[in-house]
Structure 1
């Protein structure tokens, strides 16, 4: 019997979940995967500016209830594209949590055509309005834990 291949949306969301484990924030670990033509073009997680203190080490730097030390996962992914000359127009993003209003505006301005997220997180009504206004596809997916049973962590036997 042949095993079924993992669906693309599950594949890219699992990538975002793995990426989120690099987060340096105590409050929420978020990962994002930018994709074009079923190819990952960038990834990001929420964390401090390179070289600055991490929330994990120094605690969150809160202003008005928001950690200002952290760059969001979506922004880190877009910035990675800018740094390495990868166009974002027409790309899709898979992000573990619903994007905040500022990230939503940035994604729309960057030409992202599809936003797929796993968890609701303070879903801003204005962000949802902007997504609809720009006719950007918005999907919520749940990762099927059964897919992880297909992974093998055993070392292959050598002949």
Structure 2
């Protein structure tokens, strides 16, 4: 019997883990997950966007508009930073898989942690100053940036 031919690639697998972890986010507008992998294809960190540990999901605002302290922005920890902080080893030379291209703040953490490659699905905020700054820093730090293509139409998880 020959091996199965329609299995997913490593890139698709790790992006799938990032997308699945995004489903843990309580953010009603944006759910982002991140998965960090070492050179041996081992997962060494996973995270999703949410409030810091110990901060109540119902006590802080999820709004996107309003006075700064009445929005989620001063409180939410991005998926990339959570994955870095949740990591189980030194991240030098690792790859991070993330659905949304990292902002400038996450880019700083990615660079400082030693991650050498970013694989992303969407760059929908490419025209923002935050992402422009992110790309400038990442390029100067020689962090490879790669859009994941081609994509499978879907991956089905069955629990029965």
Q: Same fold (TM over 0.5)?
A: yes
Verify: 1:67 aligned to 2:78, yes or no.
no
In 2: Cα distance, 1:12 partner to 1:154 partner: 19
Please state how far the C-alpha of 1:52 moved relative to its aligned partner. 1.1
Unaligned runs of 5+ in 2: none
Q: How many positions carry a matched residue from both structures?
A: 148
* Aligned pairs (5 A) from 1:130-145: 130-142=137-149, 143-145=151-153
Give me the CA root mean square deviation. Answer: 2.2
In 2: Cα distance, 1:68 partner to 1:112 partner: 25
* Aligned pairs (5 A) from 1:40-59: 40-54=43-57, 59=61
Runs of 4+ residues deviating >3 angstroms: none
Task: Identify, as 1 or 2, the structure richer in strand.
Answer: 1
Verify: 1:128 aligned to 2:135, yes or no.
yes
* Aligned pairs (5 A) from 1:136-155: 136-142=143-149, 143-146=151-154, 148=155, 151=157, 153=158, 155=160
In 1: Cα distance, 2:55 partner to 2:35 partner: 23
Q: Give CA deviations for 1:33-69 in whole Å, capped at 9, x if unaligned.
A: 00002110110000111121216x7532662876222
In 1: Cα distance, 2:8 partner to 2:63 partner: 39
Structure 1 pair 53/114, CA: closer, same or farther in 2 (3 Å)?
same
Q: Give CA deviations for 1:104-143 in whole Å, capped at 9, x if unaligned.
A: 1110111010001111142311211111111111111153
Structure 1 pair 105/58, CA: closer, same or farther in 2 (3 Å)?
closer
Verify: 1:77 aligned to 2:83, yes or no.
yes
1:7 aligns with 9
Compute the TM-score of the two structures, normalised by the length of structure 2: 0.82
Structure 1 pair 58/136, CA: closer, same or farther in 2 (3 Å)?
closer
Compute the TM-score of the two structures, normalised by the length of structure 1: 0.83
1:104 aligns with 107
Unaligned runs of 5+ in 1: none
